[in-house]
Amino acid sequence: MGEHKWSETDVPDQRGRVAVVTGGNTGLGFATARGLAQRGAEVVLAVRNVEKGKQAADRITAGARGAVVAVQELDLSSLASVRTAASELSARHPRIDLLINNAGVMYTPRQKTVDGFELQFGTNHLGHFALTGLLLDRLLAVPGSRVVTVSSVGHRIRAKIHFDDLQWERSYDRAGAYGQSKLANLMFTYELNRRFTAAKAGTASLAAHPGLSNTELARNSPLLIRMVTPIVAPLIAQSAARGALPSLRAATDPTAVGGQYYGPSGPGELMGSPKVVGSSAQSRDEDLQRHLWSVSEELTGVRFPL
């Protein structure tokens, strides 16, 4: 008997649960949201472009009878938008079962958020850090609730937390900045879970990564990569639906526990059914995690009620 290959059919019944998915209108986020909605969860697509969000919601409800899908405007690159979204979500949902921190930008040219943060660090890490902290009381109200933050194999590539120059003001390397943001996602996951455990909270923090998935995320890559992606991606990358399986498993598998990191089981974790995978030694350094946490609190002005 080979090992059971976990797939979308293994997602348990999600009826009665509320799931918020950032970036739920496209790619991995859309596939994750659709997978949850098909199993009966009430899903909120937290997206920058409300019109695209509504189109995505319509596509999900068309394929899943009776699915309840709402759209929430959220621009993770603006702390004001994060605060507005969090208060609107809190007003509508006294309890949130799942928060999937999925949205992200990759390999962008040098840009700043409205708050002056480097775009990839500001969007991928700080925006999600703030959103999670502001929604936390809604998650803590639900025993068994989960926060799933999407990282990347990029957390190992040219990646370190540049505490002396977090916003890359001295020089900019788009791959290094992406690696820093994805490493930060993992360090946040582990530190948050340790805080949940210390507080004896019934909420768990997990991470996932999609391996190599055929999504729109590479749209900011250098020209050569953009040119070869349409030719090469179908040959070596898995679909967004397959790439979403680690997130779905981290969010719904009854045997999953806080602090776990799910990714594809194939060679190099590029594709395959989802399983628990390892992460870099750097990502597990507790001193660095704590340092990043306090810096993130300072930069966002968000304190976690733990």
| Residue of 29, 8, 30 whose CA lies nearest to 101 | 29
- Which contiguous run of DSSP H or E holds residue 81? helix 79-92
Q: One of 178, 190, 261, 262 is an active-site residue; which one?
A: 178
Residue 293 CA to residue 306 CA, distance in Å, equals 13
17 neighbors 98 (Cβ within 8 angstroms): yes
| Residue of 100, 154, 105 whose CA lies nearest to 131 | 100
Residue 149 CA to residue 103 CA, distance in Å, equals 9
269 neighbors 87 (Cβ within 8 angstroms): no
| Residue of 22, 21, 25, 17 whose CA lies nearest to 42 | 17
Q: Note if 107 is an active site residue.
A: no
Catalytic residues, by residue number, are 178
